[in-house]
Structure 1
Amino acid sequence: MHPSFPVPVPDQTKKVTSMKKHIIKYLHFALGCFIMALAINVFLVQHHFLSGGIAGLAMLIYYIAGFPMGVTSFLLNVPLFYMAYKFMSRKFLVDSLIGTALFSIFLDGTAFLSHTTYVTDPLLTCIAGGALEGIGAALVYRVDGSTGGVDILGFIAKKFYNIGISTTNFIFNAIVVTCALYFVGLEPVLYSLVLFFLCFKATNVAMVGFDYKKSVLIITQQPDTIRKLVISEVNRGITILKGAGGYTGKDKEILLVVVKIRQLGYLLKLIERVDPAAFVLVQDANDVFGRGFTQPDVYLPPAEGEKEKHA
């Protein structure tokens, strides 16, 4: 007889899958926090630059009084944890606690690296530090994580006062930077502003990637021809919107298609070839999800009524 092996029941399989997802999530979480802490201690502290949010305030306190940044950052977050407990979901609170604890531990655990100046040029420091911190932040955000701090204030302000999260972040950072002018001087503050911008851009690139997408609105007298060519030649899906001309009042079909940046030039030439008088609006599409973008490309069959072209 062949030995029999226990077959996992569906519930057990779901639990194992869920556990794997949680492990991967928190590994990403930890790696992101570690990279952010590394950026601060390897590049920023030596030049008295500031990071954003609560970490920036903890750094300013370190420059003034010498208190450990990690411990200070965690203590500054304690009242915010209470606010999260009162007003936010349990998941958000748990993620904020874990993120803040990891970041604080890594921040103090890598503090010995700040005793050596690795890059003397302040601008290069801004570029390297901002890029590295942005990559770390993106790893945290990609798994829906949070390191607490101003994120909590931002979500609460958004929930109760309809103030944008970015606005809350800006106000908080503006207050910290204004205080820093007195304690660290103008030059480090100006470099810190450059660093904020670079960190923001690096986060966006790490989140979205370099393969930018464009959404294209097409108003044309030849909608059916262009629709078929987009499907067969560009291999992109297309949506038909119903509209009307503001001057003529006549009904129109408006075509909407999202393409990768490398496909945009070909699409525009295709439109010009079919209808040189077409009105085309091209916009950035920052977050695109679905087939052909976050899922693998698939072959789109010819539109109904068309014969497939053979080479």
Structure 2
Amino acid sequence: MLKKFIFSLSLNVCGAFCYALAINCFLLPSHLGEGGVTGLMTIFYYWLKLPPSLTNLCLNGLLLFIGWKLLDKRTVFYTLVAVGSISVCLRLTALWHFKLHDPLVAAISGGVLMGLAMAIIIKGHGTIAGSTILAKIVNKFLGIKTGSALLFFDLLVAVPSFVVIGFENMLLTVIELYISAYVLNKMLEVFVVKRSFMIISDKSAQIACALAKLNQTGITLLEATGYVSQKPKKVIYCICEAKDTVKLMRKIEELDPQAFVVLEDVRSAYGFELAKLL
């Protein structure tokens, strides 16, 4: 339990550092904006010269009241860690400007780093607050991908920002937001998405036993009947981590090369006690 706690804390701090680098090294030097609270933070920096670290704390502190009621307390706690770490890292890297001649390169680099940072923080059970809290709420209740929901809320701030940063930089900001949302979705697929197997084989007992040992989770055997043959069949159903897919596929092929296998992505899987019973 302590190891998981320390690991999650480390992920939030690491993600916060990457997030601060994206802002200070790529976005601010090229006069680019952002979405959500970070977008407001950059606008206040360009317009009023307010320190991003201070703006980040104040605006996200207000939005955390929303998250306190609608998100679980663990997420809120790690969000506090992430927001505090971002403010500290923004302060520490305030002079780390990386001026690029082509602002499009800055938009692409900042977008990739921003998406990576948010994925690391979400993997650590936190958020960067702001529009990320709204995106997590939408994902929880409507099932829309976190990155896609985040892009929508970010555009609500990014598009009007052309008044401060100019039309061309606003378009570059939209490109940066799209890239960060794309990277976030892809990273979350690697971190979060599980895979489900449905296997029909004459060696179902052997395969089920082997998969249970490899996957360290329960295996479900479903009763079925072949429509053409009218013979009873045992259908194996199991859920695994995405990283274990190749290992399980090799074992299935080794035991029965003729097995019929259906492999699908699973957006969510809940119920630890149920998983042990399967």
Of structures 1 and 2, the one with the larger relative CO (CA 8 A, separation 6+) is 2
Matched, 1:67 2:50: yes
Taking the aligned partners of 2:268 and 2:136, their CA distance within structure 1 comes to: 20
Q: Secondary structure at the match of 1:283?
A: strand
For residues 101-180 of structure 1, the aligned pairs below 5 Å read 101-114=84-97, 116-117=98-99, 119-154=100-135, 162-164=141-143, 166=146, 169-180=150-161
Q: Which residue of 1 aligns with 2:181?
A: 197
Q: 2:191 aligns with which of 182, 193, 207?
A: 207
Q: Which residue of 2 aligns with 1:35?
A: 18
Deviations 1:84-126 (A, max 9, x none): 4556565554433332222123223322223x41x43445434
Q: 1:53 aligns with which of 24, 31, 36?
A: 36
Deviation at 1:200, TM superposition (A): 1.0
Q: Quick check: 2:208–2:236 contact (8 Å CA) kept in 1?
A: no
Q: 1:282 aligns with which of 253, 263, 270?
A: 263
Amino acid of the residue matched to residue 185 of structure 1?
A: F
Q: Which residue of 1 aligns with 2:273?
A: none
Amino acid of the residue matched to residue 35 of structure 1?
A: C
Q: Which residue of 2 aligns with 1:228?
A: 206
Q: Secondary structure at the match of 2:28?
A: helix
Q: Quick check: 2:118–2:184 contact (8 Å CA) kept in 1?
A: no
Q: Quick check: 2:115–2:180 contact (8 Å CA) kept in 1?
A: no
Shift of the 251–91 alpha-carbon distance from structure 1 to 2, 3 Å rule, reads: same
For residues 290-301 of structure 1, the aligned pairs below 5 Å read none
Matched, 1:81 2:67: no
Taking the aligned partners of 2:186 and 2:31, their CA distance within structure 1 comes to: 21
Deviation at 1:264, TM superposition (A): 6.7
Shift of the 281–192 alpha-carbon distance from structure 1 to 2, 3 Å rule, reads: same
Amino acid of the residue matched to residue 206 of structure 2?
A: K
Q: Which residue of 1 aligns with 2:275?
A: none
Amino acid of the residue matched to residue 197 of structure 1?
A: A
Deviations 1:9-53 (A, max 9, x none): xxxxxxxx85x7655543443232122101221122223334443
Amino acid of the residue matched to residue 60 of structure 1?
A: I
Taking the aligned partners of 1:282 and 1:85, their CA distance within structure 2 comes to: 37
Taking the aligned partners of 1:239 and 1:106, their CA distance within structure 2 comes to: 47
Taking the aligned partners of 2:68 and 2:268, their CA distance within structure 1 comes to: 30
Taking the aligned partners of 2:135 and 2:33, their CA distance within structure 1 comes to: 20
Q: Secondary structure at the match of 1:46?
A: coil
From the CA coordinates, give the structure whose radius of gyration is larger: 1
Q: Secondary structure at the match of 1:76?
A: helix
Amino acid of the residue matched to residue 109 of structure 2?
A: A
Deviations 1:39-98 (A, max 9, x none): 221122223334443213312333344332222222222322333455656555443333
Structure 1 spans left out of the alignment, 5+ residues: 1-16, 290-311
Q: Which residue of 2 aligns with 1:253?
A: 234
Q: Secondary structure at the match of 2:59?
A: helix
Amino acid of the residue matched to residue 107 of structure 1?
A: L
Once structures 1 and 2 are overlaid, which stretch shifts more, 96-105 or 31-40? 96-105
Matched, 1:185 2:185: no
Higher helix share: 2
Q: Quick check: 1:137–1:203 contact (8 Å CA) kept in 2?
A: no
For residues 2-13 of structure 1, the aligned pairs below 5 Å read none
Shift of the 72–246 alpha-carbon distance from structure 1 to 2, 3 Å rule, reads: farther
- Normalised by the length of structure 1, the TM-score is 0.63
Amino acid of the residue matched to residue 73 of structure 1?
A: N
Q: Secondary structure at the match of 2:29?
A: helix
Q: Which residue of 2 aligns with 1:217?
A: 198
Q: CA RMSD in A?
A: 4.1
Taking the aligned partners of 2:101 and 2:152, their CA distance within structure 1 comes to: 30
Deviation at 1:175, TM superposition (A): 0.5
Counting matched residue pairs gives 259
Taking the aligned partners of 2:181 and 2:65, their CA distance within structure 1 comes to: 30
Amino acid of the residue matched to residue 228 of structure 1?
A: Q
